[in-house]
Structure 1
């Protein structure tokens, strides 16, 4: 009989160790699965970024194609405009040459006018001499008397003609003077226009050079645009390759996550089976390493029960406060903490008892109360510190009171009927952090109603 109990104890210890290892491995698998899930989320964001990049790159390629089309049109227009401007500048140059030649011709015309004026002066002199000769002839004819009457008539006629010649010469001279003045004014205007034309002609070379520079720049722009368009096409091809690779990687990651989820389900199944074996051995009466912790947990739960029952009888605690499940969210807490009517009594009366029970054995890591929804109204003082703002990781470990936790083992102990339950499980510290330990769960009932559990967690 003793030999059988020894084997059963050894089997119980093995079941406990196996359950603890399953829990530890399941926690590790869960960590890996969480990392894969997080990586998958980042991968999905990366895929979205690649899709956005592809869309933007397609738009950029379209814009580059439009720019190149515009550059080609601009090159064509500038080429045509260049030809038209060159033709227009040629016409302007020829017109300027005509103006310059006109100025030269007008200057010759003024010279001719000046020569005409000179001839008019000579004619005036001849007319004056002729008039003088006619006067002298008239005098001589008067002296000769009737014998020179015919000569006198001729002299008178010559005198008249000389007077007419002088009058005509004076008129011609005046007209030539006016003509010369007008011609000189026109020449001055033509000279100024010709000078401006020469300046404009020198500027046409600058315009031609500027047009040629613009045409060269547009040609370079067209070439650069073509290079940009080619680069865009290359980028699009690489982005598509990257997208295909990410899609394949995402599919593989999803498959791996699904495979790990199956592994975890199997580990959870093994953990559950080993936990039930561990609990069954503990209930068989065989002495194992867990026996003393089961006894301690039951004794401590009885003390807690007695204390609460006494408070209910005395009116210090009401049934409504004890079973209050209207969880009131405490502001600025992360993870969220909740208040209930039972929390003040639990903090003031139960927490000192939890601290004392935890200190009784170095293997015990903590004692706590858990209501039927997973709410911890209080905890040991080390786990009931004031939460720190914006420090979720610290709060998950050191401000666990008033939070809500519910894992598979706690849920099973809450739902099943029994005097106690011995399980291994992972104490969740959030963000993938955990600690595998063993816990004894003792149901707490008040007035025939199941309130929740008393838990003692310990390490072996």
Structure 2
């Protein structure tokens, strides 16, 4: 509505002024509804952004899974080929291996039996040699006795003279025979001793060979078990090949399912993205409508039409002027410089959650603002808070009830520790940066933990020596 139209709204038109007040009241309710709708659309837009990101992540995951399945399928094909090759090789080699093992076992057993028989034969030879050795010793003894006998016979023959001459010839012959036998017997004994030592050595080696042969025979029994194990291995390879074939079929089927899923997710992403774009557009439209509604309320107020919000707006404007004047007085007294009062170097408070900040003008606002802000809380039962913010939405000094020391619970901190924080949402920035006589906004106040309260926010600019410092805000219930 233009001012010219409002000027034509006279009592003479038989339209009571109350109707104009109703227009202001209804426009306020309209602003509330638009703000609520804007908040809901904002939530939907945020949800749309989140769903888009999740859908894209799901598509990427499906793509990665499809790639993984392709790699798995290739690995399964390779494993299947290897299993088939192993099964074929084992099957072809099983007969040869079994025959070779059987032949080897037979030879080992024959060698073992031969080694044991050889040991027994050597022991028999040793026994025979021992008997020969004893006989040789006996022959030596006989030869020695014969020599003595021949010597005695020679002596007796010499005593007998001519009568013992024939006997002497016999004795000499016997002596020659004994002399010939004795060296041969000694050589035979020496050869028998050497042969016995050789047989002892051979007998020791034969014993070791016999023990080795017995061990080989025992091991051959294990070789027979190896043949059985080989047959079992062939059966296992056949079952493994069958299992790999079944797994490969499942992998192929799963890969097809994931490909279908990925295509479906692509369509879902496109749909969600389109919905997200529409919600973003709707959010912008609602923000525009909300701005028009706020301008319309300002227009109504400037036209002199009283609404239920008029007293709070007036109180907000008066308080903003008072704070500006007190800031100017502080600068004039030298309590603070203009540079410090307009400090935008926000220093984060370590460990705070939600994040709090400090500036060079916090000490001043903590000293002078509570005595201005606290009484306003009782000026109207609808008022929930009031605070001064700078041009960037930074709120240095809040009401005492919202200025509690932070604890370990971020949700509790968000609702009860609202000082030293930057509220750079649409409402906070608009309140701090608006230079209009006043600004009446409707918004959803975030109380933390996903809880929102529908509020109205009246703000008026704070100026210091002609320079815009920020704005004073009064939040009140609709």
TM-score category by the smaller chain?
A: 0.7 to 0.9
Task: Say whether the 8 Å CA contact 2:433–2:471 is kept in structure 1.
Answer: no
Looking at structure 2, the residues matched to 161 and 171 of structure 1 have their Cα atoms a distance apart, in angstroms, of: 16
Looking at structure 1, the residues matched to 273 and 448 of structure 2 have their Cα atoms a distance apart, in angstroms, of: 23
Structure 1 residue 354 displacement after superposition: 0.9
Looking at structure 1, the residues matched to 231 and 27 of structure 2 have their Cα atoms a distance apart, in angstroms, of: 87
Aligned pairs for 1:17-416 (under 5 A) are 17-38=29-50, 90-107=106-123, 109=125, 163=178, 166-167=181-182, 170=185, 174=189, 177-178=192-193, 181-182=196-197, 184-185=199-200, 188-189=203-204, 191-208=206-223, 211-212=226-227, 215=230, 227=243, 231=247, 234=250, 238=254, 241=257, 245=261, 247-248=265-266, 250-388=269-407, 390-412=408-430
Task: Say whether the 8 Å CA contact 1:130–1:158 is kept in structure 2.
Answer: no
The structure-2 alpha-carbon separation of the partners of 1:382 and 1:15, relative to structure 1 and needing over 3 Å to count, comes to: same
Structure 1 residue 258 displacement after superposition: 3.2
What CA deviation, in whole Å up to 9, does each residue of 1:343-397 have, x standing for no partner?
2222121122111011111101111112122222222111222233x54333332
Matched pairs, number:
455
Looking at structure 2, the residues matched to 438 and 59 of structure 1 have their Cα atoms a distance apart, in angstroms, of: 60
Looking at structure 1, the residues matched to 449 and 58 of structure 2 have their Cα atoms a distance apart, in angstroms, of: 22
Task: Say whether the 8 Å CA contact 1:16–1:278 is kept in structure 2.
Answer: yes
Structure 1 stretch displaced more, 367-376 or 237-246? 237-246
Task: Say whether the 8 Å CA contact 1:367–1:379 is kept in structure 2.
Answer: yes
What residue number does 2:445 align with? Answer: 427
What residue number does 2:5 align with? Answer: none
Task: Say whether the 8 Å CA contact 1:367–1:456 is kept in structure 2.
Answer: yes
Task: Say whether the 8 Å CA contact 1:335–1:395 is kept in structure 2.
Answer: yes
TM-score by length of 2: 0.72
Structure 1 stretch displaced more, 316-325 or 113-122? 113-122
SS of the equivalent of 1:382 reads helix
Structure 1 residue 416 displacement after superposition: 5.2
Task: Say whether the 8 Å CA contact 1:445–1:451 is kept in structure 2.
Answer: yes
TM-score by length of 1: 0.75
RMSD between aligned residues: 5.1
Task: Say whether the 8 Å CA contact 1:120–1:173 is kept in structure 2.
Answer: yes
SS of the equivalent of 2:377 reads helix
What CA deviation, in whole Å up to 9, does each residue of 1:186-239 have, x standing for no partner?
563265135304422333235415645775786688678765796588568647
Looking at structure 2, the residues matched to 60 and 125 of structure 1 have their Cα atoms a distance apart, in angstroms, of: 95
Structure 1 stretches of 5 or more lacking a match? none
Looking at structure 2, the residues matched to 364 and 414 of structure 1 have their Cα atoms a distance apart, in angstroms, of: 19
Structure 2 stretches of 5 or more lacking a match? 1-9
SS of the equivalent of 1:304 reads helix
The structure-2 alpha-carbon separation of the partners of 1:7 and 1:378, relative to structure 1 and needing over 3 Å to count, comes to: same
Equivalent of 1:440, from 458, 462, 467? Answer: 458
